[in-house]
Amino acid sequence: MKIIKVKDYQEMSIAGAKIIKEEILKKPNLTICFATGSTPIGMYQALTKMYQHKELDFSKVTSFNLDEYVGLGQSNPCSYHYFMYKNLFNHININKNNVHLPNGIGDIAKNASDYEKLIASKGGIDFMILGLGTNGHIAFNEPGSKIDESTREIKLTQSTIDANKIYFDNENDIPKTAISMGVGSIMKAKKIILLANGIKKADAIHNMIEGPVTSNCPASFLQKHHDVTVIIDTEAASKLKNS
């Protein structure tokens, strides 16, 4: 696990964008899995600027996403489908036919199985972007998740629901479950970067990097992956002892 420590959110965002740029330049038809939430927004803004300055071409990239709320349609402003178009896809030249997100509407078990088959049909994930929950979750793999699980419907913990309140006008509108790639799905990615910033993530970063490998902190399973880069700001790194 490679650790990159930076000063602040802006430096974290730029560092992540530069790594993605290198990967796309090496392989223009990269298959990349995107994350949502507040953490990667700055990185997506940096990627947009790279595209606008003709430093990057996304036309051959295939994209997947980690997760989606169950019960929210694509046009819902709180859906991750809406998020990705608002924050990245509408601003770059990615082929919309190559954009894939989990479907949180209808038969979720079938949707999850179909999503795994679609990823496999594209040759798997070359490059994956992860954020980190305060409780150590990656994607929506909450504490208790196992290392071999695939895409499935997951019941969200109260801490995750509370963290997502800022995105909803009414607390009662927050979905209680999500369809999410599993830890097993994530571990199949060839290369992973994880971004985290702020003091609220410090405990989770410590547990992920220096704690035991345990389902109590699903992110700790990344210790077993062969190519993970963690980009963290000073506050997120503040409880690390050896890294």
107 is known as an active-site residue: no
Is residue 159 in a domain? yes
For residue 189, tell me if it sits in a domain. Answer: no
Q: Which helix (H) or strand (E) holds 233?
A: strand 228-233
Of 87, 111, 135, 141, the catalytic one is 135
| Number of domains forming the structure of the chain | 1
Which is catalytic among the residues 23, 68, 137, 207?
A: 137
Whether residue 204 is contained in a domain is answered as yes
Print burial letters for 176-198: b (CB count within 10 Å at least 16), e (below 16): ebbbbbbbbbbbbbbbbbbbbbb
89 is a domain residue: yes
DSSP 222: G
Provide the domain limits for residue 10.
2-177+197-237
What per-residue confidence (pLDDT) applies to 109? 97
Domain CATH for 41: 3.40.50.1360
> What pLDDT, on a 0 to 100 scale, did the predictor assign at position 169?
86
Within-domain flag for 185: no
Sheet holding 127-130, edge to edge: 2-6, 228-233, 191-196, 127-130, 31-34, 62-65
Give the start-end residues of each E strand in 31-166: 31-34, 62-65, 67-69, 127-130, 152-155
pTM score, whole prediction: 0.95
pLDDT score recorded for residue 170: 84
Q: What is the pLDDT along the chain (243 residues), one digit of tens a residue?
A: 999 999 999 999 999 999 999 999 999 999 999 999 999 999 999 999 999 999 999 999 999 999 999 999 999 999 999 999 999 999 999 999 999 999 999 999 999 999 999 999 999 999 999 999 999 999 999 999 999 999 999 999 998 888 888 888 888 889 999 999 999 999 999 999 999 999 999 999 999 999 999 999 999 999 999 999 999 999 999 999 987
Please check whether residue 190 lies inside any domain of the structure: no
User: Is 67 considered catalytic here?
Assistant: yes
Longest pairwise C-alpha distance within the chain: 47
- 137 given a catalytic annotation: yes
pLDDT in the model for residue 118: 98
| pLDDT value of position 85 | 97
Q: Is residue 243 part of a domain?
A: no
Write down the catalytic residue from 23, 68, 126, 142. Answer: 142
The catalytic position among 23, 67, 68, 116 is: 67
Domain-located, residue 61: yes
The question of whether 153 is a catalytic residue gets the answer no
